Structure 1
Amino acid sequence: MKTDPPDPRLHALVEGIVRIAGGDLTTRIPHSEARDDVAAVIAGINLMADDLQAIYQELEERVESRTAMLREAQVELERMALTDPLTQLANRTALNSALGHALAEAARGEMPPALLILDLDSFKGINDTLGHSAGDDVLRMIARRLQEAVRGTDTVARLGGDEFAVMLPKSNLVRARRVANRILKALSESLEVGDLRITCGTSIGLRVAEQGQTAEELVMEADTAMYAAKAQPHSSIKVFEPALLYARRLQSVMITEMREAIRQDQLTLYYQPVVELATGKIEGVEALVRWNHPERGLLMPDQFIPLAEETGLIVDLGHWVLRHAVRQLRDWQQELQVDSSFNVRVNISTTELQSLDLIEHVRDILTETGVDAANLVVELTESMAVNGGDVDQYSMSGLRRLGVKLEIDDFGTGYSSISYLRKLPVHVVKIDKSLIDGLGDNEEQRNFVAAVLHLIHACGLEAVAEGIETAEQAQILAKLGCASGQGYYFSRPVPPAGIAALVSG
């Protein structure tokens, strides 16, 4: 029996299926003129290969697109991780990386890098008086000026707050000084913030790297030089010297000692009487902290409060002062039978006002001692009361709801605005000593103080004058309608026993 020869298309069909199944989606089985079942299968296989190739191509394009997006996102994340979000300058991490690279080049024989660390001299005042939004605008303007003052190969970084750094690769002391002076000049020019023109100087610490130094050591030494520059009266440049490390170590020791002083009750409170001007009766006291240092003796506030504010210890220090002042008031109430309205005034810092647990802390102290909230007066600076943010306003409102009285301290030293007084949740305004000086022999000053007192009273607030040093000043203020006052004329700040003697006498 005679058999038909095998159809050559079957071999091509099988071979094509094998290739397509192996992943070669470009394979196509040749067509024939015949119109039979084999041709139909070939056509179907080819159509399936077309579909698979289209699907695969679309999948490849999607994968490439997603990969590109992921790559871009990774680049953006890396950029964000190395960039200060406010100024778009390099951040501390990026600076350390650039320093590491420059130091590695110096180890291979290149010139060493120089590092400038800058701190703005009056930024806190700008933030306090104009608000944080204006402060942010100032930082952005400072960032632009720094970039304009250096080369494209130099690294400008914001380290945090109002502290910046400039790293100059392959540099020397002469060039670094030249750049520092250029920066000093650029930042001494006034800035436009809203309708105001302000000046924001800077203090610069300079350190040229030495062989074998690490990035951390270089930053620490430039930072040490910067703090030495800040101790000078005007914007200045300070080149690092080994002797500066000794002063920095002393500061570190003092920070440790201050922590111990708070824990071990080495602090003590002195009290200055607040007197009713019409009668001379002591109506309350202001608590003022001192430090009984075991080696240096009695330290005044200006010898340690700035350091406490700089390091954040001011919160713990403020808690200590508040607790002990209220406890002392309770003791006087029990032992001296002082008038039910006798109060104690306690100053709090901006950092304390912005602490979310301030209200809870005050409530706990009042509960512990049984002292009426109305007998506690919290003193705030004018700038804190006027320009505080949401947290500040929350704290002030919360203290008022507790029944605590709020007093604006040093009124007349900042951007005083009577219009703010009607809106703020305060009870008392303390007129600064600068307005009291010359009150006895200056008619214009007397008229001015009279106008200030009239407006304070028109806002429904009480007035207290500080810095009264003569009987004449006390008499004039009483005639002008100022109810209360304090100052050396009545008494210097004294220990608790001194207040007991004054009240009893």
Structure 2
Amino acid sequence: MKTDPPDPRLHALVEGIVRIAGGDLSTRIPHSGARDDVAAVIAGINLMADDLQTIYQELEKRVESRTAMLREAQVELERMALRDPLTQLANRTALNSVLSHALAETSRGEMPPALLILDLDSFKGINDTLGHSAGDDVLRVVASRLQDAVRETDTVARLGGDEFAVMLPKSNLVRARRVANRILKALGESLEIGDLRVTCGTSIGVRIAEAGQSADELVMEADTAMYAAKAQPHSSIKVFEPALLYARRLQSVMITEMREAIRQDQLTLHYQPVVELATGRIEGVEALVRWCHPERGLLMPDQFIPLAEETGMIVDLGHWVLRNAVRQLRDWQQALNVDSSFNVRVNISTTELRNLELIEHVRDILRETGVDAANLVVELTESMAVNGGNVDKYSLTGLRRLGVKLEIDDFGTGYSSISYLRKLPVNVVKIDKSLIDGLGTDDEQGNFVGAVLHLIHACGLKAVAEGIETAEQARILTALGCASGQGYYFSRPVPAAEIESMLRLAE
């Protein structure tokens, strides 16, 4: 029986299907033009291959597009990870990266980098007074001025808050000082923030890197120099020197010791009498804190108060002073025949005034001791009263509502404006010692103090003169109409037991 030869199209069909299945979507099976079942299958396979090829090409385009998008997103994430979102400057991570690279070059014999770290001098006051939005505007303007003050090859970074850094590659002390002075000048000029013009100086620490240093060591030493600069007069530059590290370590030790001092009652209060000038009667006392250091002896406030303010411990320290001063007043009221108006004066800092817990703390102490609020006088500086923001005004108003008396300290060293004095929610004004010093030797000074007293009395306030050192000064002040005063002429600050002896003698 004779059989038909195999259809050659079947072999081509099988081969085509195998290639398409293997991923060669450009394969097409040749067709003869016949119109039978085999031709129909070939046509169907070719149509399917066309569709698959079209779908695959579209998929490739989508994958390519998504890959490009992911790559852009990754680049943006990397940029964001190395940028400060507010100022668009480099951040601490980026700074560490460029420092590490520059230090590696130094180890290979290249010139070392210089690092400048700077902290704005007046930023906290601007932020508290004008608000965080204005503070952010200040930081952006500062960032712009810093970039204008350096080369494109230098790195300007924001480390956080109002702290910035500038890295100068392949530098030396001469150039670092020149750039630091340029920055001082740029930031010393007033900044336009909306409709306001504010001034915000800076303190700068400078460190030239040494071979073998790590980025962290370089930053720490530049930061140490910056803190030393802040301890100097306004807007200054300090170059790092090894002795600064010792001072900073000593400061760290003192911070720890101060916390212990507050917890373990190593602090003590001395009191300076405030007297009625006409009679010499003791009207009250001003409480002044001392630190009975176990190794260094009795420390005066100027040896630890600035550190307490810098570290924020001034709030805890202020609470201790307030509590113990009011308790001492209660003990005197119970043990002695003191006048019902006898009071204790306590100084508070700007940080304490801006602490929202201040009013509640004062209320708790008065409730605990049973002392009348009118027997507590809170002293604050003139600039605190005049420059205060909303929180300050809230605290002052709250203290007045409690019945606590408020006294402006150091009057005559700040604004001393008639309009401000009339509006301030205070009861007493303490005339600064600098105005008292010339009394008895300078007639014009007497006229000036008389005018100041007239101003205070015209505002319905009581005046207290501080720093009285001679009988002549006390006599002139009495003649000028000043009712009260304090100073070494009457008594230095003394322990509570000596005040008690004075009060007993006056009974």
Question: TM-score, structure 1 length as denominator?
Answer: 0.78
Alpha-carbon shift at residue 305 of structure 1 (Å): 0.7
C-alpha displacement of 1:27: 11
Would the aligned equivalents of 2:114 and 2:176 in 1 still touch at CA under 8 Å?
yes
**Maintained 8 Å contact 1:413/1:432:** no
Q: Which moves more between the two structures, 493-502 or 12-21? A: 12-21
- TM-fit CA distance, 1:137: 5.5
- The Cα RMSD (Å) is 4.3
AA aligned to 1:431 is K
Q: Secondary structure at the match of 2:274?
A: strand
Deviation at 1:303, TM superposition (A): 1.3
Residues 1:273 and 1:20: Cα distance change in structure 2 (over 3 Å): farther
When structure 1 is superposed on structure 2, of 281-290 and 67-76 the one drifting more is 67-76
Structure exhibiting the larger radius of gyration computed from Cα positions: 2
**Offset at residue 410 of structure 1 (A):** 2.6
Checking the alignment, whether the CA contact within 8 Å between 1:139 and 1:162 is kept in structure 2 is yes
Q: Give the TM-score of the pair, scaled to structure 2.
A: 0.78
Report the alpha carbon displacement of residue 332 of structure 1 after superposing the two structures with TM.
Answer: 0.9
Q: Which amino acid aligns with 2:458?
A: H
SS in 1 for 2:494: coil
Q: Is the 8 A contact 1:354 1:391 kept in 2?
A: yes
Conserved 8 A contact 1:202-1:236: yes
**Any idea what the Cα deviations from partners look like across 1:287-328, whole Å, max 9, x if unmatched?**
111112223222211111111111222122112111111111
Alignment map for 1:323-338 (pairs within 5 Å): 323-338=323-338
Q: 1:433 deviation in Å?
A: 1.0
C-alpha contact 1:129 1:414 (8 A) present in aligned 2: no
Per-residue CA deviations over 1:170-203 (Å, capped at 9, x if unaligned) read: 2233332333343344445565678987765544
CA distance in 1, matches of 2:374, 2:128: 28
* Alignment gaps of 5+ in structure 1: 1-7
- C-alpha contact 1:345 1:376 (8 A) present in aligned 2: yes
CA distance, structure 2, for counterparts of residue 23 and residue 428 of structure 1: 93
Q: Any conservation in 2 of the 1:131–1:388 contact (CA below 8 Å)?
A: no
Select which of 474, 477, 487 maps to 1:474: 477
Tell me the equivalent position of 2:447.
443
Measured after TM superposition, the shift of residue 113 of structure 1 is 1.4
- Give the 5 Å matches for 1:149-298: 149-189=149-189, 201-233=201-233, 235-277=235-277, 279-298=279-298
Alignment of 1:24-39 (within 5 A): none
- 1:107 Cα deviation from its structure 2 partner: 3.0
Per the TM alignment, residue 496 of structure 1 is displaced from its structure 2 partner at its CA by 0.9
1:283–1:45 CA distance, 2 compared to 1 (3 A): farther
Matches within 5 A, 1:59-78: 67=70, 70-71=73-74, 74-75=77-78, 77-78=80-81
Q: Output the amino acid matched with 1:466.
A: A
**Equivalent pairs, count:** 493
Describe the SS at the equivalent of 2:481: helix
Tell me the CA shift for residue 228 of structure 1: 3.7
For residue 389 of structure 2, what is the aligned residue in structure 1?
Answer: 389
Instruction: Note if contact 1:131-1:387 (Cα within 8 Å) is conserved in structure 2.
Output: no
Give a deviation string over 1:202-238, Cα, whole Å, max 9, x none: 4433222112211221122222333444455575443
- The answer to whether the 8 Å contact 1:128/1:383 transfers is no
CA shift for structure 1 position 126: 6.6
Which residue does 2:315 correspond to in 1? 315
Q: Per-residue displacement from partner, 1:81-129 (whole Å, max 9, x unpaired)?
A: xx1x554433333322322232233234433211122345566677788
Specify whether residues 153 and 370 from structure 1 end up closer, same or farther in structure 2 by C-alpha distance, changes over 3 A only.
same
Name the CA shift for 1:48/1:385 in 2 (closer, same or farther; >3 Å): farther
Maintained 8 Å contact 2:381/2:410:
yes
Instruction: List alignment gaps of at least 5 residues for structure 2.
Output: 1-7
CA distance in 2, matches of 1:205, 1:78: 26
Q: What letter corresponds to residue 267 of structure 1 in structure 2? A: L
Cα distance in 1, alignment partners of residues 492 and 198 from structure 2: 37
- The residue number in structure 2 matching 1:428 is 427
Partners of 2:357 and 2:27 in 1: CA distance: 74
1:335 positional shift: 0.8
Change (3 A) 1:75 1:417: farther
Partner of 1:408: 408
Letter in 2 for 1:432: I
State the match for 1:3 in structure 2: none
